[in-house]
């Protein structure tokens, strides 16, 4: 079941997301975390809450959704670096409790299987998601099977264009592959929190919420999950009936 929360703008969406997330900031919880522009407001609120209220992450664990193939963790645009820069370095979560898939290694598929095994052993309580303008969740691009596990994938042209802004607006610098949790992996999370803001997400949001459940819009599978909260601002809701 999808519970849709409509907000005025990005800031209000981030406030609402923090309200949902706050319930999970307790010892023993497992957070599924995401990168991209969307979660930045939520992460800023988590950092502020840690600093002002002392909310502790010492007994919280986290699993991230994805990572670019070929970027060392020291690359500023690696998702490992993103998570440290925007969240992990500012809260008290132990490094060993955090997991970001590695996009480097001899056998990425074997590493991907191991990532799924770790998640199976430590089920995610709440998975945070953004949505791509093409309806992707994590890097599961249109056409990805709904039962997929963590795997290596090619990025869609539209995703490479969308992410160009992080790579000096130079399309040749954007990695073309990623390791991503599969849709089947994501669907195992006990609860899902998806945030979508801005007009470039409006079409994907409409297909996710009102379209048929079809691999052409990967996020449409969320209609089948039993506990999903979708937070959207006015611009992202613009095409809803």
- Tokens coding 15: 């406030």
CB 91 → ligand PGA: shortest distance, Å? 20
CB 122 → ligand PGA: shortest distance, Å? 23
Q: Is 66 a catalytic residue?
A: yes
CB 174 → ligand PGA: shortest distance, Å? 13
| Binding region for ligand PGA (CB under 6 A) | 36-38, 130-132
For ligand PGA, give the closer residue by CB, 38 or 127: 38
User: Which residue among 99, 136, 233, 235 is the active-site one?
Assistant: 136
CB 214 → ligand PGA: shortest distance, Å? 18
Q: Which residue of this chain has its Cβ atom nearest to ligand PGA in the complex?
A: 36
- Tokens coding 205: 């949001």
User: Which residue among 67, 141, 207, 235 is the active-site one?
Assistant: 141
CB 3 → ligand PGA: shortest distance, Å? 20
Q: Is 233 a catalytic residue?
A: no
User: Which residue among 125, 134, 207, 235 is the active-site one?
Assistant: 134
For ligand PGA, give the closer residue by CB, 28 or 140: 140
Q: Is 134 a catalytic residue?
A: yes
For ligand PGA, give the closer residue by CB, 38 or 98: 38
Q: Sign of dihedral through CA atoms 90, 84, 98, 149?
A: positive
Can you give the chain as a three-state secondary structure string?
A: CEEEEEECCHHHHHHHHHHHHHCCCCCCCEEEECCCCCCHHHHHHHHHHHHHHCCCCCCCEEEECEEECCCCCCCCCCHHHHHHHHCHHHCCCCHHHEECCCCCCCCHHHHHHHHHHHHHHCCCCEEEECCCCCCCECCECCCCCCCCCCEEEECCHHHHHHHHHHCCCCHHHCCCEEEECCHHHHHCCCEEEEEECCHHHHHHHHHHHHCCCCCCCHHHHHHHCCCEEEEEECCCCCCCC
For ligand PGA, give the closer residue by CB, 100 or 131: 131
Q: Is 154 a catalytic residue?
A: no
User: Which residue among 50, 66, 125, 162 is the active-site one?
Assistant: 66
* Residues annotated catalytic, as ranges: 66, 134, 136, 141
């Amino acid at each position: 079941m999808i519970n849709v929360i409509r907000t005025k703008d990005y800031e209000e969406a981030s406030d609402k997301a923090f309200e949902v997330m706050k319930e999970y900031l307790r010892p023993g919880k497992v957070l599924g975390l995401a990168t991209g522009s969307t979660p930045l407001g939520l992460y800023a609120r988590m950092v502020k809450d840690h600093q002002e209220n002392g909310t502790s992450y010492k007994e919280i664990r986290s699993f991230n959704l994805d990572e670019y193939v070929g970027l060392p963790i020291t690359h500023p645009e690696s998702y490992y670096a993103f998570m440290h820069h925007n969240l992990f370095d500012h809260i008290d979560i132990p490094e060993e409790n955090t997991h970001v898939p590695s996009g480097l290694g001899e056998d990425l598929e074997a590493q991907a299987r191991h990532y799924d095994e770790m998640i199976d052993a430590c089920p995610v309580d709440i998975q945070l998601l953004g949505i791509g303008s093409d309806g992707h969740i994590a890097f599961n691009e249109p056409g990805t099977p709904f039962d997929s596990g963590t795997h290596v994938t090619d990025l869609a042209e539209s995703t490479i264009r969308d992410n160009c802004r992080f790579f000096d607006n130079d399309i040749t610098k954007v990695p073309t592959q990623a390791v991503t949790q599969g849709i089947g992996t994501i669907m195992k999370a006990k609860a899902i929190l998806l945030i979508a803001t801005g007009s470039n997400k409006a079409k994907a949001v409409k297909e996710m919420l009102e379209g048929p459940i079809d691999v052409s819009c990967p996020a449409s599978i969320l209609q089948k999950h039993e506990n999903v909260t979708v937070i959207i601002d006015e611009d992202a809701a613009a095409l809803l009936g």
